[in-house]
Amino acid sequence: MALKLDPGLTIDDFTLRERLHVGGMASLWSVTRTGDTRDLLMKVPHFGEGLDPAAIVSFEMEQMILPRLSGPHVPLFVATGDFSKQPYIVMERIEGQTLFAKLKELPLDYDKVAEIGHKAAVALSDLHRQNVIHLDVKPSNIMFRPDGGAVLIDFGLSHHRQLPDLMQEEFRLPYGTAPYMAPEQLLGVREDARSDQFALGVLLYFFSTGTRPFGEGESMAAMRRRLWRDPYPPRNLRPDYPPWLQEIVLRCLEIEPAWRYATMSHLAFDLAHPDQVKLTARSQRLKRDPFSAVLRRRFNPELKRGIVKSAAIEEPDAPIVLVALDLSPDASAQSGALLAETRRLLASSPEARLACVNVLKQNRIALDTDLDEEGNSKRIERIVALKAWAAPLKLEGPRLTVHVLEAIDPASAVLEFSHANRVGHILIGARQNSFRKKILGSVSAKVAAEAACSVTIVRP
């Protein structure tokens, strides 16, 4: 039998201090533990007549999943209580409010929406790398640390690819928050990471227009309409809506998961680099799909089966590959070797995105100029050179981006870019003989030593 919870009650090593929130499925308490100076939060599920059984199962799921998560984008797990006495989860208490507090300010500035979306996408990318799909992405489940990093909370509806999915095994109805649920979730699919992408797309649409793309309907009939009916393009609601943001949002909201981004890292990349977003017809749309297209979706059972089939496939191996290029005349042999190695790597990862990077080295003391001796922009010249280098790879649209970085230390610039954009593999050339290498050390060696991902050093 569940305990009567009151301030001062001690459960195991934890003493209840203040009840902070009462939700539909659980209550949140601030707690203390002798010898522990951290701010702690205890989540306790509700018991009682008429309680939805899914509330308990979802709490079991969170008890299984949260201890297996780590990193800055999830609350630090502390302890859990057994159902035989008093079930609970104790975690770090994160100060601040969730994104729910922003609803009264909508619509937000477009740049602010992109910033929020990027931080949330980075957090979700990290979650997906830990084999977890959140499946309940919404404003009330996203918080921010004092340093600005996003934190995801509430994993009761999540799916862990290496754990039994109790929600799927015990219930046939889809569970989630109605306005944010992806079409495949409505069909019972819970193992596609791109469902989180759809929910984040709903959030981006809502925060940038002030209108939910699929309305507020919570009935199954209302929710199922998104299986065949697309939302109004944001530019229909706000004429000044940026094409790059509409491209991103509508790509996230594609009915077919395969038409969305390959991974959450790719979405985060575009949100952080609006000038690199490859625009398609999506970006200019002002109307929803014609009624003929809606009818085909509505009465085509093969299309629905296609959604289930594609959604059941695990997130593809689609890393962001960074190639650090030296564009100086004496590096032509090195560039050729890098091109050959890049072609080989992309052949084994057909969904990968290639980011070609060159560092425009800055002086430590002297003033720098953006123009060369002939008055041409150094940056533009290098962008052109990077695209020319990658042309033989014949990469389509968004699979290729080019970046010219300005930095005093090239190695640090490559490392910073790699970390900020969740790069999965770095290709970099090594000079055979160089006076600067002898005096200052090797750029490739520093990158290889300090990168958080795989690094291939290519020699001509």
Paired with 150 in beta bridges are 144
Name every residue whose Cβ is closer than 8 Å to that of residue 339 and which is 6 or more positions away in sequence.
389, 392, 393
Distance CA 216, CA 206 (A): 11
Distance CA 217, CA 115 (A): 28
* DSSP string computed for 178-210: GGG--HHHHTT----THHHHHHHHHHHHHHHHS
Distance CA 151, CA 130 (A): 15
pTM: 0.85
Paired with 427 in beta bridges are 323, 456
Look at residue 301 in the predicted model and tell me its pLDDT: 59
Mapping DSSP to helix (H, G, I), strand (E, B) and coil, where does residue 5 land? coil
Q: Which residues of 267-276 are buried (b: 16+ CB within 10 A; e: fewer)?
A: bbbbbbbbee
- What is the torsion angle, in degrees rounded to the nearest 10, for the CA atoms of residue 428, residue 433, residue 436 and residue 439? 110
- Written as tens digits, the pLDDT of the chain (460 aa) is 457 889 999 999 999 999 999 887 889 999 999 999 999 999 998 876 566 778 888 998 999 999 999 999 999 999 999 887 889 999 999 988 899 999 999 999 999 999 999 999 999 999 999 999 999 999 999 999 999 999 999 999 999 999 988 888 888 788 899 999 999 999 999 999 999 999 999 999 999 999 999 987 778 888 888 999 999 999 999 999 999 999 999 999 999 999 999 999 999 999 999 999 999 999 999 999 888 888 888 887 555 554 554 443 334 456 899 999 999 888 888 899 999 999 999 998 888 899 999 998 877 655 556 666 666 778 888 888 999 999 999 997 778 888 888 888 999 999 998 988 889 999 999 876 654 454 445 888 999 999 999 999 998 8
Distance CA 181, CA 174 (A): 9
Q: Does domain 320-458 bear CATH number 3.40.50.300?
A: no
Look at residue 307 in the predicted model and tell me its pLDDT: 54
Structure tokens given for 81: 């209580």
Look at residue 337 in the predicted model and tell me its pLDDT: 94
Domain boundaries, the chain: 10-92, 99-311, 320-458
Rg (CA), the chain: 25
CA distance from start to end of the chain: 71
Look at residue 350 in the predicted model and tell me its pLDDT: 84
Look at residue 75 in the predicted model and tell me its pLDDT: 97
Look at residue 46 in the predicted model and tell me its pLDDT: 83
Second CATH level (architecture) for the domain 10-92: 2-Layer Sandwich (3.30)
Distance CA 217, CA 233 (A): 19
Look at residue 220 in the predicted model and tell me its pLDDT: 83
Which CATH number is 99-311 given? 1.10.510.10
Look at residue 304 in the predicted model and tell me its pLDDT: 57
